[in-house]
Structures are given as structure tokens and as C-alpha cells.
């Protein structure tokens, strides 16, 4: 398994421990579970900075977490879900030593109307994964 995939799998495992349903790379399901929904998107590694001798690629990989809640108290549920993501990331900023640093950016929540049902509250949370590797494909 590549370092990139190992880091994304470790991030996904950390999200799986939260009280929301967790998916990776899936489409938004028709129904959002009552406890909320998190979808991890692999994102883009971007252009690395390169150091020579030895050759090392330094990435600031931008993954994304889509967070979605529903219900009558969406604001409080959304706040609790976002806070739990922050605590999960702060508990181990290196994901078990796989990367140098994990940093979430502030979400920009939106209310999504749903025909015939209560609206959803959702946001995309950018997560920057800082890591270095000797192989851009590994």
C-alpha cells in the first residue's frame, strides 16, 4: 500500500470512530442517517515541493470531508459533529506517525432544502495532510 493510501486509510479509520455514518468516496445516499453522515474524499495531492540529495517529495495533500446532518436541531447536531471531527484529528496529528501533520480548515456550512422533508445542513471540510515520500507514485 502506498504512503498516500495508508494516510487516507488512517484518516478514514479515525473518522469511523465518530458517532456518524462514515463512507469513503461514495455518492451521497438518498437518506441521511439520523446520527449524521461523513464522506471522505481522497482529494488532490497537488504539486509537491522537491528537495534533492536525497530526492524527497513534500506534499500538502488536500482531502475533503463532507459532513451532513438532518433533523429539527440541525445547527446543534452539525456543531457537535464538526467538533468531534476536530477532536479526532487533534488527538493524533500524525495519524500514527504516517504523516507530518494533519490540519482541518474551517467549514462553510450551507442549508440544503429537500422537497417534502426537513432541510439538511452540510459542509465540505478541507483537511490538509502534510507528508513526504521518496516516490510520487508510492
Convert the pLDDT of each residue in 10-60 to its tens digit: 999 999 999 999 999 999 888 899 899 999 999 999 999 999 999 999 999
Residue 138 is assigned to a structural domain of this protein? no
The backbone torsions φ and ψ at residue 30, rounded to the nearest 5 degrees and listed phi first, read -65, -35
Read off the pLDDT of residues 58-107 as tens digits, 9 standing for 90 and up. 999 999 999 999 988 999 999 999 999 999 999 999 999 999 999 999 99
Residue 77 vs residues 24, 35, 49: alpha-carbon distances, Å: 21, 8, 39
pLDDT of residue 35: 93
Q: pTM for the whole thing?
A: 0.93
CA dist 127 → 24, 77, 113, 114 (Å): 14, 21, 26, 27
Specify the CATH number for the domain of residue 106. 3.30.2000.10
For residue 22, tell me if it sits in a domain. Answer: yes
- Please tell me the distance from the alpha carbon of residue 68 to that of residue 118, in angstroms, as a whole number: 13
Q: Which residues constitute the domain of residue 32? A: 3-133
Amino acid at each position: 500500500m502506498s504512503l498516500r493510501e495508508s494516510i487516507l486509510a488512517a484518516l478514514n479509520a479515525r473518522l469511523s470512530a465518530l458517532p456518524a455514518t462514515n463512507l469513503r468516496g461514495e455518492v451521497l445516499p438518498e437518506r441521511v442517517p439520523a446520527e449524521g453522515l461523513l464522506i471522505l474524499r481522497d482529494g488532490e495531492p497537488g504539486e509537491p515541493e522537491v528537495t534533492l540529495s536525497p530526492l524527497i517529495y513534500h506534499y500538502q495533500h488536500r482531502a475533503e470531508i463532507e459532513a451532513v446532518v438532518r433533523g429539527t436541531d440541525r445547527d446543534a447536531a452539525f456543531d457537535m459533529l464538526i467538533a468531534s471531527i476536530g477532536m479526532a484529528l487533534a488527538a493524533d496529528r500524525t495519524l500514527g506517525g504516517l504523516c507530518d501533520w494533519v490540519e482541518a480548515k474551517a467549514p462553510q456550512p450551507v442549508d440544503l432544502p429537500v422537497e417534502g422533508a426537513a432541510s439538511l445542513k452540510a459542509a465540505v471540510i478541507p483537511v490538509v495532510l502534510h507528508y513526504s515520500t521518496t516516490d510520487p507514485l508510492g
